[in-house]
């Protein structure tokens, strides 16, 4: 079954994700600057508020939970107050965490000083130390069962020691043995560490570093260089694909099987206040989408949309499921999301729309030759609902009803014409003699048609019995498909 972007989002609540990586504490100090210090040419920061959030791989977890994914996190923290704060914050997200405490490694804390919408300074409290030897066997012991119980594994590598050259290849190998996709957000140029990963998601700076080139998306030969360098990485490290994030230039996808067929998606950001954590957001949504059964292309579209939302927020932010749904609904046509649904897609999509307070309306017909009467009925029906769904008789259904010389236009043409109308939100082709089975399947709030009394309208009778409402629309006389056909014959 073909999935739409909205039905993919609905699947997030059933998509189990394991995130492994370097977790840290993001601390934000908020205030304002109104003058320069007399002691030195530096701004005086007048403190007003502070907030702590999950950072690094923790921000990936926060985003996964915000979009509704059941999430497990595996990582290492220091045995200190900042580490305990991370435990509390993870618990607040509802994440199932498996944290090992390192005695001699302090929890990483990044403190940002922000005045208005401007970053003034970032102070990092960290020591980059090797992963303690005693923790690696303990992590490996947890891995197999953790990977077995999820749909996808995300590796958030900030090159702080957890995803080192010993542990990372073992994780990927277990994923391969259990047939689980594994996505990597890399920070090191040592791609031997990521050998055999399903996808690797570098940003432009990271991709430039691993290729040894200074790359710019505005260069004339940029895409050709990316293709050739990606082919070399595929050959050497057996990576399944690369998702290259390009900030304001969007995202690029290079598939190892078809490296010459680049997929480029423009950015969807409206305003950019803060790029902190945008890579974590895109990794979370990319992974959740693939884990939910989306194609890589669809997953990239959703990840790109999510990144566009989060950069308009200040600080290490997340994107919620509802925000993602709202933005996809606003930009549906940009993503090529079909307005023509199967019944199964509709049964998944409409409850989600209803949960957001949307009123679903339904009408149906053959719509063989669209005329003024059809347009009038559709406009009237739309006035009673937020989402207008149009059921369209299939070719076979019309032949049984109208005769062998009908329809004049096939079901694909008819449904696409209706989908092109602004007043129509979704179209569903049905093969039954009446629309009753379709109405019973999608359970709209309102049904609307013209020319039917209730005793001749079984779909309306059923819907009223089940709490819905029936609307009898006004007919514009002198307009019918039959009369149009007769005029053409004459």
Q: What is the C-alpha separation between 335 and 325, in angstroms, rounded?
A: 13
* Dihedral angle, C-alpha 5, 290, 346, 387, nearest 10 °: -20
Three-state secondary structure call for residue 126: coil
The rounded radius of gyration (Å) of the Cα atoms in the chain is: 27
End-to-end CA distance of the chain: 45
Count of CB atoms situated within 10 Å of the CB of 413? 13
Q: Which residues are catalytic?
A: 280
Residue-level length of the chain: 490
CA distance 380 to 168: 60
Closest CA to 104 of 121, 125, 127, 82: 127
* Cβ–Cβ under 8 Å, residues 400 and 407: no
In the sheet that holds 426-430, the strands lie side by side as: 340-341, 426-430, 387-393, 360-365, 446-450, 469-473
Q: How far apart are CA 141 and CA 139, in angstroms?
A: 5
Neighbours of 94 (CB within 10 A): 11
Angstrom CA distances, 337 to 3, 162, 308, 350, stand at 9, 39, 18, 15
Whether the CB-CB separation of 200 and 194 falls below 8 Å is answered with yes
Cis peptide before 407 (omega within 30 of 0): yes
Q: Does residue 318 contact residue 66 with C-beta atoms inside 8 Å? A: yes
Residue with tokens 């449904």: 415
């Amino acid at each position: 079954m073909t999935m739409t972007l909205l039905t993919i989002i609905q699947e997030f609540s059933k998509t189990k994700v394991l995130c492994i990586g370097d977790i840290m504490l993001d601390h934000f100090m908020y205030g304002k600057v109104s003058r320069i210090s007399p002691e030195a040419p530096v701004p005086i920061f007048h403190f007003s508020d502070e907030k702590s959030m999950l950072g690094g791989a923790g921000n990936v977890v926060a985003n996964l939970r915000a979009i509704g994914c059941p999430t497990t996190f595996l990582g290492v923290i220091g045995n200190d107050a900042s580490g305990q704060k991370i435990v509390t914050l993870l618990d607040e997200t509802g994440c199932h965490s498996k944290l090992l405490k390192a005695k001699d490694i302090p929890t990483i804390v990044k403190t940002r000083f922000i005045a208005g919408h401007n970053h003034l300074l970032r102070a990092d409290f960290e020591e980059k130390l090797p992963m303690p030897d005693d923790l690696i066997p303990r992590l490996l012991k947890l891995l197999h069962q953790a990977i077995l119980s999820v749909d996808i594994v995300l590796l958030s590598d900030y090159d702080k020691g957890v995803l080192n050259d010993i542990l990372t290849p073992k994780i990927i190998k277990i994923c391969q043995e259990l047939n689980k996709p594994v996505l990597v957000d890399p920070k090191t140029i040592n791609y031997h560490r990521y050998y055999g990963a399903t996808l690797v998601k570098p940003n432009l700076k990271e991709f430039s570093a691993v290729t040894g080139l200074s790359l710019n998306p505005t260069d004339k030969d940029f895409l050709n260089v990316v293709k050739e360098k990606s082919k070399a990485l595929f050959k050497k490290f057996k990576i399944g694909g690369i998702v290259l994030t390009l900030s304001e230039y969007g995202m690029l996808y290079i598939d190892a099987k078809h490296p010459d067929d680049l997929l480029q998606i423009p950015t969807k950001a409206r305003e950019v206040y803060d790029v902190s954590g945008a890579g974590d957001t895109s990794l979370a949504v990319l992974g959740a989408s693939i884990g939910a059964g989306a194609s890589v292309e669809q997953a990239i579209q959703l990840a790109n949309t999510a990144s566009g939302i989060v950069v308009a927020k200040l600080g290490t932010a997340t994107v919620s499921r509802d925000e993602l749904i709202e933005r996809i609904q606003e930009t549906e046509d940009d993503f090529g999301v079909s307005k023509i649904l199967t019944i199964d897609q509709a049964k998944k999509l409409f409850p989600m729309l209803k949960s957001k307070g949307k009123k679903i309306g339904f009408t149906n017909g053959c719509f063989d030759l669209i005329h003024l009467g059809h347009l009038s009925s559709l406009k009237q029906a739309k006035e009673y609902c937020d989402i207008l769904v149009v059921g369209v008789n299939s070719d076979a259904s019309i032949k049984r009803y109208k005769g062998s010389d009908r329809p004049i236009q096939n079901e694909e043409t008819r449904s696409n014409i209706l989908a092109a109308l602004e007043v129509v939100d979704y179209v569903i082709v049905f093969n039954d003699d009446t629309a009753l089975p379709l109405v019973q399947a999608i359970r709209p709030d309102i049904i609307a048609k013209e020319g039917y009394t209730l005793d001749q309208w079984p779909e309306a009778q059923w819907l009223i019995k089940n709490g819905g409402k029936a609307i009898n629309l006004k007919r514009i006389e002198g307009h019918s498909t039959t009369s149009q056909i007769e005029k053409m014959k004459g």
